[in-house]
Amino acid sequence: MDMTTLLLYIVIVAVAAVTITPGPTMLLALNNGATKGKRVAACGIAGAALSDLLLIGAVGCGLGAILQASELLFTLVKWAGAAYLFYLACQLWRAPLGTPQAAQNAMPGARNGRAAFMRSLLVALSNPKGLLFFSAFLPQFIQPAGDVALQYVILALVTALIDIALMSLYALGGHHAMRIFSGRALRWLNRTCAGLLAGLAIALSFYRRNASS
């Protein structure tokens, strides 16, 4: 892979991530940074970054084509992802009014870095849009004459680093904002994120395989 192709990939991925409505992992980074602190937010970001590596690895192994071809598998993954997003939305909506520390203590399954890591990882892996997107997008940057496996590794690492940088900005923004605003602002943030996650769950439920082509 030449440097021009790699730079073009970086620009396209970064611009797409910034201009498109934040996805669920971005929203989780924002909420984790605001309500649970930098350490837990970092763990959530690590889970999302690992999902990039796993999804692109799956594309390199041909699993994206299998998902594209199997209506049953696609439907199962799609509804599992939508249900999990809606579950997270309900948890955020019910988070009580109070300080960030009080909200952290009241949120089931959200008290430590391991839970945040698994939440972000499962959110990304249970969304078939990611696998289908990478399946359609990445091959355009792969040069068949070169080492294909190495090129997939490079693109996976670059994608993960871009996501880490962007999610870190969301997490830091949420963290510093909630140091300024009151506990009532925390409820506003939780319910805004909950509404967006629920909206993403509904959108995912209507997603079709041919939407990626």
In this predicted model, which residue has the larger pLDDT, 6 or 101? 6
Q: What is the pLDDT of residue 23?
A: 77
Mean pLDDT of the region 36-64: 88
When pLDDT is cut at 50, 70 and 90, the band that residue 213 belongs to is very low
Residue 187: pLDDT above 90?
no
Taking the CA atoms of the chain, what radius of gyration do you get in angstroms? 18
Min mean pLDDT across 4-13, 119-128, 166-175 is at: 4-13
CA separation, residue 138 to residues 7, 40, 60, 104, 161 (Å) = 14, 31, 9, 38, 16
The answer to whether residues 52 and 160 touch, using CB atoms and an 8 Å cutoff, is: yes
Min mean pLDDT across 43-52, 58-67, 105-114, 145-154 is at: 105-114
Mean pLDDT of the region 133-146: 80
Q: What is the pLDDT of residue 111?
A: 55
